Amino acid sequence: NARLTDALPSGLTALPPLREVIARHGLTAKKAFGQNFLFDSNLLDKLARVPGPLSGARVYEVGPGPGGLTRALLRAGADVTAVEMDKRCLPALAELGDAAAGRLTLIEGDAMRIDEPAVLGAPAHIVANLPYNVGTALLVRWLTADPWPPWWLSLSLMFQKEVAERIIAAPDSDAYGRLSVLAQWRSRPRIALSLPPRAFIPPPKVDSAVVHIVPTQAPEGVPVKAVERVTAAAFGQRRKMLRASLKALSGGLEALSASGIDGARRAETLTVDEFVALARCWSKLS
């Protein structure tokens, strides 16, 4: 698209191929960092479109690695702040920063320890091909943000397909659990893309999927802590009846009776709204 190319800072169109950058900087994928890289620029552009149009938008990217997804986000017109833990990637990313004419800010560090609102200064879309070893922990951190609506505008995140299915699962399915309730009680998750192992280098052992999550209004009178504690207790022993599993939580049985939910039911049969009602009762009583 000639007009789009004209609109890009010339540095971005003149970038060397990703494979060349990886070879020149010796960026062999390391297991310890959960590294499975994406190279296909059509696929990367598709991933960068998941949050919607990004022209002029602020994006926070975790784990840019050699910068394939970062390039796609910059091509889409975003201002990107990226946090990377692997020092080896930083010189390659700095070159991309030079080409991006001020639209890329790099942070070296661990995404689990970043004070995102302070670093970003304004709401941002989060887009990431996450390292599988920290993906779920980061998701829980972002889903349990306080206050709500959170500092992030949307999440577009790569997971192992099995984790993506847990995030969007409905009651009465094996995949339904704590992660489903945490993701669904005040946001709307959907699977936006599915990817086979061969999309990555090196290929992981399992299929992957990109989950898109947009925050919705939070129900009144339900602190995050209450949802976390009630779901942890209920799913901690998912095969047991609630009247047994909620014994582990102080005030759990009183909340169960106040909510009117039958104590003979098991956690995986409760809808997200029923968990919200239970958490509301628990927080009032405790």
Give the residues lining the site for ligand SAM (CB under 6 A).
33-38, 62-65, 68-69, 83-86, 89, 110-112, 129, 131, 134
- Whole-angstrom Cα distance, residue 166 to residue 66? 29
* Strand pairing report for 58-62 and 79-84: parallel
121 annotated among ligand-binding-site residues: no
In the complex, least distance from residue 189 CB atom to ligand SAM, rounded to whole angstroms? 20
In the complex, least distance from residue 254 CB atom to ligand SAM, rounded to whole angstroms? 40
63 annotated among ligand-binding-site residues: yes
How is residue 120 annotated by DSSP? H
- Whole-angstrom Cα distance, residue 56 to residue 76? 9
- Whole-angstrom Cα distance, residue 282 to residue 110? 35
Q: Collect all residues with Cβ–Cβ distance below 8 Å to 113 and sequence separation of at least 6.
A: none
Residue closer to ligand SAM by CB (options 34, 150) is 34
The dihedrals phi and psi of 149, each to the nearest 5 degrees, come to -55, 145
- Find the residue with minimal CB distance to ligand SAM: 63
36 annotated among ligand-binding-site residues: yes
Closest CA to 48 of 13, 183, 120, 57: 57
278 annotated among ligand-binding-site residues: no
In the complex, least distance from residue 262 CB atom to ligand SAM, rounded to whole angstroms? 42
**Under a CB-based contact definition with an 8 Å cutoff, are residues 82 and 104 in contact?**
yes
Residue closer to ligand SAM by CB (options 88, 247) is 88
Residue closer to ligand SAM by CB (options 93, 168) is 93
Which residues are annotated as part of the binding site for S-adenosyl-L-methionine?
36, 38, 63, 84, 110, 129
Which residues are annotated as part of the binding site?
36, 38, 63, 84, 110, 129
